[in-house]
Amino acid sequence: MTDSQNASTKAQQTKKKENPLLSLMFNIILPVVALQNLSKHLGENGPLWALLIGLSLPIGYGAYDYITRREKNLMSLIGIVSVVFTGGLALVQAEGIWFALVEMGLPMIFGIAVLISAFTSTPFIAKMTYNDVFMHIDRVEDALKAKGNLDQFKKLLRTSTLFLSSSFFLSAVLNFALAIVIFVPIDAGLADAQRADILNEQIAEMRYKSVFVIMLPLMVFSMGIMWHLFSGIKKLTGLDLEQVIKTN
């Protein structure tokens, strides 16, 4: 392969890398902001328009990502499902236990999906981290073969995926507990506009407090999973992390 072809291949690989901040903005943050803030400014059908706008963001980003990288975007799917359930419940003016069940159900579904993947040929943790963009795959596999540790590596991927699925189940429990506290019944005697405002405030409070009550503990949990994975790779291959992880 010529130098120009190598340069072209590297350029294509660079284009395929996803911007995680952009993904977080369009799939999670902006849809939540749309649901919480737009309905009161868009007239009588404000909640419906807010729901449609919130849906358009992860759908549009997912479509763009698929066209440019030819990969299905899991974060977009999570964003779409979250908007559909949260926005749909707000649209029909549901409250209380329904929001708690949704807040529990979404991470529970993803946890089950990740758990099932642990017993397939491609555990979810492998899709997340074990790829040519993030690691020197050839170098790792050559080291594993040389030491006869391929089977042990598969077990490592499986256990790391099982740990990851347990983090989703922990999130489900924490989500449910927090939602039960926040989504208290709203006085039925209030006007629809007042009830909608109170519900929007509850949704906003849930999203705000979940960062501290749920996201921070899960970040610590996820760091532990990554430590387990990479320390295992280092032990099984004999390579330093600098030799495993791509830095550019």
Q: Please name the residue ranges forming H helices in 74-136.
A: 74-91, 97-117, 124-129
Q: Confidence band (pLDDT; 50, 70, 90) for 159? A: very high
pLDDT, tens digit, 9 for 90 and up, residues 170-181: 988 988 898 888
Give residue 44's pLDDT band: very low, low, confident or very high (50, 70, 90): low
Angle at 50 between CA 168 and CA 60, to 5 degrees: 65
Contact 218, 175 (CB under 8 A): no
Q: Residue 209 — φ and ψ, nearest 5°?
A: -70, -25
Calculate the average pLDDT of the chain.
77
Higher pLDDT, 63 or 141: 141
Give the per-residue pLDDT at 235.
92
Q: Give the model's pLDDT for residue 74.
A: 61
Cα–Cα–Cα angle for 223, 228, 229, rounded to 5 degrees: 95
Q: Where do the domains of the chain lie?
A: 1-92, 94-248
Determine how many CB atoms are found less than 10 A away from the CB of residue 5. 9
pLDDT at 166: 92
Residue 187 DSSP code:
P
The rounded distance, in Å, linking the Cα atoms of 30 and 54 is 7
pLDDT tens digits for range 99-136: 788 778 878 888 888 899 899 888 888 877 877 777 88
Mean pLDDT of 5-19: 50
Give yes or no for a contact between 110 and 78, defined as CB atoms under 8 angstroms apart.
yes
Query: 131 or 19, which is more confident?
Result: 131
Q: Which residues face 137 on adjacent strands?
A: none
Asked if residue 15 has pLDDT above 60, the reply is no
Whether residue 204 is predicted with pLDDT greater than 90 in this model: the reply is no
Q: Residue 11's pLDDT is what? A: 46
Q: From residue 88, how far is each of 35, 78, 138, 143 by CA, in Å?
A: 10, 15, 46, 51
Looking at per-residue confidence, does 182 or 54 come out higher? 182
Per residue in 211-235, pLDDT (tens digit) is: 777 777 788 888 999 899 999 999 9
* Model confidence, pTM: 0.67
